[in-house]
């Protein structure tokens, strides 16, 4: 091979690299490991982690993953393929993305969905930029204080660099303060408002009238939410949202210490050409067969460069497959049943906590599968006790406040055992 290339050594392949910047040393890296050693190395590291019975949420939920999902997403024809540019040999990927888009549109009851985004936080930031691009001479986006703080930090980071002015809408007793919203949405230059459902305390807010107020002021309503919850709850479209965004992790994706997850973005039909990200559409092939293809690419960075709707150039495809297979196997009834079980478990747990006499609800507000309670003792000591006994006992939200989440994976016995520790 070297002869054909016309060089005498591998080293000579780099004769165009100036000598002074060539790397001539040994890398300061570990020595190569055999497969067995690699396995042992990671097993040992895994032992340094502690698996806990999870009663924490705050955006990441320990939902059930049917066995079949893992089996499908490991199929290497899906796993080792690239973005489906060559439609003729990518109909597998293109079909499931079309199914994903269809399912997400159903779940949120929005008109359309893109092919997925990195995660819920970046999808929300993209929605913010989309609203500003869709509005005329608008540079302000309102964000409710009841939006998750981690999502908010990402949104604010994008806003800072993109030149978007973020104005916070105050919260009042755990929910968005409507009078403050109404005053701020009427101000000049507001492109949209971001709210969250259920909100960062787990409360299911009443957003009646928000979309109308936004639309009266030519602004868009963006609703961030936990995808799986919409199988049961009133949907973003039913609240009048123009853009629905959030994380799809709740649709059976493992917690995996924070990722990979899958961001979703759905919107109304009329915003389709403003939407960032990949979109798969139906078409025909030269043989007259129904086929699917990446479409509306004129929005995207490889065509429009700096004028693109976003810099995103991938979707979270394999994770989109993950949630597609999840929704296919759970089906219309299963996603709902999982949500109802989570609701029942969470409300049972709230009752049991209150019964101990040490807890009371932080808010007298409706919730779905996650809620805040006030503890009359030391939260840190209690949470440590939970961990010592194999439980991840909620997320600390304040000096005396804990937020617990319950999914369909939590049994009555697990809840009762946790309560016994109090």
Of 8, 209, 366, 398, the one binding another protein by CB under 8 A: 366
Of 13-42, binders to another protein (CB under 8 A) are: 13-18, 20-23, 26-33, 35, 38-39, 41-42
Q: At closest approach, how far in Å is the CB of 171 from another protein?
A: 20
Of 138, 190, 193, 319, the one binding another protein by CB under 8 A: 319
Q: Is 340 exposed, middle or buried (0-12, 13-18, 19+ CB in 10 A)?
A: middle
Report whether the peptide linkage leading into residue 73 is cis, meaning its omega lies within 30 degrees of zero.
no
Of 249-288, binders to another protein (CB under 8 A) are: 254-260, 272, 278-287
Of 332-361, binders to another protein (CB under 8 A) are: 332-341, 343-345, 347-348
Dist. CA 16–CA 281, nearest whole Å: 45
Q: Residue 400 to residues 71, 175, 198, 202: CA-CA distances in angstroms? A: 43, 19, 22, 17
Nearer to another protein, 186 or 298 (CB): 298
Of 63, 118, 176, 246, the one binding another protein by CB under 8 A: 118
Of 137-166, binders to another protein (CB under 8 A) are: 150-151, 153-154, 157-158, 160-163
Reported as half-sphere exposure (CB side, CA atoms, 13 A), residue 355 has a value of 9
Applying CB under 8 A, does 75 fall inside the site for another protein? yes
Judge contact between 158 and 125, C-beta under 8 A: yes
Nearer to another protein, 214 or 293 (CB): 293
Of 245, 321, 323, 397, the one binding another protein by CB under 8 A: 321
- The interface mask with another protein, positions 190-229, x = CB under 8 A, is --------------x-------------------------
Judge contact between 190 and 219, C-beta under 8 A: yes
Of 172, 187, 311, 356, the one binding another protein by CB under 8 A: 311
CB-based contacts of 297, cutoff 8 Å, min separation 6: 303
60: closest CA among 348, 285, 254?
254
Neighbours of 417 (CB within 10 A): 14
Angle at 364 between CA 361 and CA 368, to 5 degrees: 80
Judge contact between 124 and 155, C-beta under 8 A: yes
Q: At closest approach, how far in Å is the CB of 337 from another protein?
A: 6
Of 63, 122, 144, 214, the one binding another protein by CB under 8 A: 122
- The interface mask with another protein, positions 166-185, x = CB under 8 A, is --------------------
């Amino acid at each position: 091979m070297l002869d054909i290339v016309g060089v005498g050594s591998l080293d000579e392949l780099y004769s165009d690299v100036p000598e002074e910047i060539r790397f001539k040393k040994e890398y300061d890296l570990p020595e190569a490991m055999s497969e067995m050693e690699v396995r042992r190395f990671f097993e040992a590291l895994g032992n340094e982690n502690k698996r806990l019975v999870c009663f924490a949420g705050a955006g990441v939920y320990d939902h059930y993953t049917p066995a079949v999902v893992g089996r499908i997403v490991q199929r290497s024809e899906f796993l080792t393929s690239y973005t489906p540019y060559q439609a003729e040999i990518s109909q597998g990927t293109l079909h499931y993305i079309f199914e994903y888009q269809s399912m997400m549109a159903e779940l949120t009851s929005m008109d359309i969905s893109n092919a997925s985004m990195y995660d819920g936080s970046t999808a929300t930031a993209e929605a913010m930029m989309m609203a500003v691009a869709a509005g005329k001479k608008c540079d302000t986006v309102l964000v409710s204080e009841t939006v998750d703080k981690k999502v908010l930090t990402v949104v604010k980071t994008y806003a800072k660099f993109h030149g978007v002015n973020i104005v916070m809408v105050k919260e009042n007793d755990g929910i968005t303060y409507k009078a403050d919203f109404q005053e701020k949405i009427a101000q000049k230059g507001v492109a949209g408002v971001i709210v969250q459902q259920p909100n960062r305390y787990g409360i299911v807010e009443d957003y009646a009238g928000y979309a109308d107020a936004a639309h009266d002021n030519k602004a868009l309503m963006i609703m961030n939410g936990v995808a799986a919850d919409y199988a049961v709850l009133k949907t973003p479209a039913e609240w009048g949202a123009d853009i629905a965004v959030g994380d799809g992790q709740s649709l059976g994706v493992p917690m995996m210490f924070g990722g990979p997850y899958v961001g979703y973005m759905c919107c109304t039909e009329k915003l389709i050409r403003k939407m960032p990200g990949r979109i798969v559409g139906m078409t025909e092939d030269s043989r007259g067969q129904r086929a699917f293809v990446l479409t509306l690419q004129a929005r995207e960075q490889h065509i429009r460069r700096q004028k693109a709707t976003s810099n995103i150039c991938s979707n979270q495809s394999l994770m989109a497959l993950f949630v597609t297979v999840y929704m296919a196997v759970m089906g219309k009834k299963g996603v709902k049943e999982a949500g109802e079980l989570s609701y029942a478990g969470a409300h049972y747990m709230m009752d049991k906590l209150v019964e101990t006499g040490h807890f009371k609800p932080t808010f007298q507000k409706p919730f779905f599968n996650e809620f805040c309670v006030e503890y009359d003792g030391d939260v840190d000591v209690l949470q440590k006790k939970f961990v010592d006994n194999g439980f991840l006992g909620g997320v600390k939200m304040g000096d005396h406040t804990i937020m617990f989440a319950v999914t369909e994976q939590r049994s009555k016995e697990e809840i009762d055992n946790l309560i016994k520790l109090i």
